[in-house]
């Protein structure tokens, strides 16, 4: 294709790879511009015809609909923008709690999948296979319509340890009440974390220099847990628990839990979080299993030959190498969980998509709403992939 330096170029422009490349790319740009023009003009014409204003002005208008769970103050008189913000926070909340539970459950199940114990192994296997092969939406429906609707009605309850109560209105438990002086406990926790970090660095430097080890685990535990507990007692217990009040007698309408006592998790939230974490945990379990199996057996043998015991072998040799394999797919599962939380719309939990859908129906401003959705999810996924690139660079095997 290409010509040697001394021979004159004989190939026609038609066969010159450079010219062809330019031509095809120009063609692609032309097509994209044409399609874009087609779409934009049609959209503008259609919006004008349907009398839908465009632009972001609607975000200031009064929403006029209630939201059953809001992390920040919200009322029906708040603006559309506020409503979408509430939905966004709910999405983040579900994602954060879902990721937390899914990680723990996923690691337990992944390790159980490698167990020599046949019963445990089989349970983990069928858990993974069953959950992965049933659609998530079906699982959300199952938890919401089949499980959380089969619990007692508003005027009765199921209780666990007399502290957590479940009925059709959701899960109720004691809520913490912060009195003056409770902020000291928070500061104690921060100081404990910083001190642990500093001591850990010092201990590592000392061990590198002298070989002497330092009981880091107990020190850290003492600082991170002990210090706040100490502060709690020194300040005279400034945090108390407010238990939900349950009226068993009295007029029929007043029976059940009194409003505003204790904390309440609405059934939509429970069903969504449960289904998301159980579903994602099955995928995480497979990732963990594959990651641990990816560490060559020679590593365990070499660690044993060095005289390491089972615990340090796992902690110092196996897990650091397995994590290298586990973390990239793990982050993409976290992202999947976040994206899947949009299924909230099916059970009317007010997340970003659900609230956005309501706004869309009221204002008809489809372009703007869908743009908000896309922007939020795209930036989340962009952040995730940036983290993954950073992590991969940090963790890449340094080979000579």
Partner 1 sequence: MANVDIFQVRTHEAPLLPAPVSTTGAIGWMRQNLFSSVGNTLLTFFGMYLAYSIIMPFIQFAFIDAIWTGDNREACLATDPNTHAGACWAYVKAYLPQFIYGRYPEMERYRVDIVYAMFVLLLVPLLMPSAPQKTLNAILFLVVFPIVAYFLLTGLEIGDFVVFPIVETAQWGGLLVTLVIAVTGIVASLPLGIALALGRRSQMPIIKLVSIIFIEFWRGVPLITVLFMSSVMLPLFLPEGVTFDKLLRVLIGVTLFSSAYMAEVVRGGLQAIPKGQYEGAMALGLRFWPMMYLIILPQALKLVIPGIVNTFIGLFKDTTLVLIVGMFDLLGQIQSSFSDPNWSTPTQGHTGYLFAAIVFFVFCFGMSRYSIFMENKLHTGHKR
For partner 1, give the closer residue by CB, 132 or 254.
132
CB-based contacts of 143, cutoff 8 Å, min separation 6: 270, 271, 274, 275
**Which of 16, 47, 155, 327 is close enough to bind partner 1 by CB under 8 A?**
47
> What x-and-dash track marks residues 344-383 binding partner 1 by CB under 8 A?
-xx------x---x--x-----xx--x--xx--xx-xxx-
If one asks whether residue 314 binds partner 1 (CB under 8 A), the answer comes out as no
d(CA 336, CA 330): 10
Q: Considering only residues 199-218, where is the footprint of partner 1 by CB under 8 A? A: none
Residue among 54, 88, 92, 137 at smallest CA distance from 355: 88
Q: How far is the CB of 181 from partner 1 (least distance, A)?
A: 43
Binding test (CB under 8 A) with partner 1, winner from 33, 34, 37, 46: 46
Among 11, 13, 19, 29, binds partner 1 (CB under 8 A): 29
Nearest approach, Cβ of 17 to partner 1 (angstroms)?
9
- How many chain residues interact with partner 1 (CB under 8 A)? 56
Query: CB 84 → partner 1: shortest distance, Å?
Result: 14
Of the candidate residues 11, 30, 45, 234, the single one contacting partner 1 (CB under 8 A) = 45
Spell out a b/e string for 238-251, using b for 16 or more CB atoms within 10 Å of the CB, else e. Answer: beeeeebebeeeee
Residue indicated by tokens 């975000």: 59
Contact 375, 356 (CB under 8 A): no
Per-residue string for binding with partner 1, 108-147, x by CB under 8 A?
-------xxxxxx-xx-----xx-xxxxxxx--xx--xx-
Q: What are 235's two structure tokens? A: 């300040």
- C-beta of 382: minimal distance to partner 1 in Å? 7
Restricting to residues 180-199, which ones interact with partner 1 according to CB under 8 A?
A: none
Half-sphere exposure of 269 (CA within 13 A, CB side): 23
170-173/164-167 β-pairing: antiparallel
Please give the sequence-ordered ranges of beta strands (E in DSSP) within the chain, or none if there are none: 158-160, 164-167, 170-173, 175-178, 239-242, 246-247, 256-257, 263-265
Rg (CA), the chain: 29
Cα gap 345→350, rounded to integer Å: 7
**Shortest Å, Cβ 113 to partner 1:** 13
Choose which of 3, 9, 19, 25 interacts with partner 1 (CB under 8 A).
Answer: 25
Stretch that binds partner 1, among 17-25, 96-104, 230-238, 263-271 (CB under 8 A): 17-25
Q: What angle do CA 345, 130, 134 make, to 5 degrees?
A: 30
In the complex, the smallest distance separating the C-beta of residue 385 from partner 1, rounded to whole angstroms, is 8
How, if at all, do strands 263-265 and 170-173 pair? antiparallel
Reading the block at residue 117, the tokens are 């114990």
Given the complex with partner 1, which of 234 and 366 has the nearer CB atom?
366
The pattern of x and - marking residues 51 through 90 that bind partner 1 according to CB under 8 A reads ----------------------------------------
Nearest in space to 106 (alpha carbons), one of 319, 277, 340, 298: 277
List of residues contacting partner 1 (CB under 8 A):
21, 24-25, 28-29, 32, 38-39, 42-43, 45-47, 49, 115-120, 122-123, 129-130, 132-138, 141-142, 145-146, 149-150, 339-340, 342-343, 345-346, 353, 357, 360, 366-367, 370, 373-374, 377-378, 380-382
């Amino acid at each position: 294709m290409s010509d040697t330096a001394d021979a004159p170029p004989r190939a026609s422009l038609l066969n010159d790879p450079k010219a062809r490349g330019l031509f095809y790319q120009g063609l692609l740009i032309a097509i994209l511009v044409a399609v874009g023009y087609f779409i934009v003009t049609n959209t503008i014409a259609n919006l004008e015809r349907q009398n839908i204003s465009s632009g972001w002005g609607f975000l200031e208008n009064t929403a006029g609909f209630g939201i059953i769970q809001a992390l920040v103050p919200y009322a029906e008189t708040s603006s559309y923008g506020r409503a979408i913000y509430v939905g966004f926070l709910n999405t983040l909340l579900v994602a954060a709690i879902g990721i937390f539970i899914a990680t723990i459950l996923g690691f337990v199940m992944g390790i159980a999948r490698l167990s020599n114990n046949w019963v445990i192994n089989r349970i983990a296997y069928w858990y993974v296979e069953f959950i992965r092969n049933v659609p998530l939406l079906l699982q959300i429906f199952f938890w919401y319509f089949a499980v959380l609707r089969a619990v007692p009605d508003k005027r009765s309850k199921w209780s666990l340890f007399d502290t957590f109560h479940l009925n059709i209105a959701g899960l109720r438990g004691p809520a913490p009440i912060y009195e003056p002086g409770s902020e000291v406990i928070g500061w104690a926790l921060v100081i404990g974390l910083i001190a642990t970090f500093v001591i850990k660095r010092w201990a590592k430097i000392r061990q590198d220099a002298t070989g002497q080890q330092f009981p880091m685990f107990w020190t850290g535990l003492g600082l991170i847990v002990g210090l706040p507990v100490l502060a709690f007692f020194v300040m005279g217990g400034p945090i108390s628990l407010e238990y939900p009040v349950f009226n068993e007698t009295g007029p029929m309408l007043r029976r059940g839990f009194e409003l505003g006592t204790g904390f309440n998790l609405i059934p939509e939230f429970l069903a969504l979080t449960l289904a998301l974490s159980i579903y994602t945990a099955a995928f995480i379990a497979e990732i963990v299993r594959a990651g641990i199996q990816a560490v060559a057996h020679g590593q365990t043998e070499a660690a044993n030959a060095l005289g390491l015991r089972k615990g340090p072998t796992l902690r110092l040799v196996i897990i650091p190498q397995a994590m290298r394999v586990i973390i990239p797919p793990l982050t993409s599962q976290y992202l999947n969980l976040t994206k899947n939380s949009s299924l909230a719309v099916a059970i009317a939990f007010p997340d970003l998509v659900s609230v956005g859908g309501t706004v869309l129906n009221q204002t008809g401003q489809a372009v703007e709403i869908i743009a908000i959705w896309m922007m939020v999810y795209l930036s989340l996924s962009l952040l995730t992939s940036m983290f993954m690139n950073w992590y991969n660079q940090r963790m890449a095997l340094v080979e000579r």
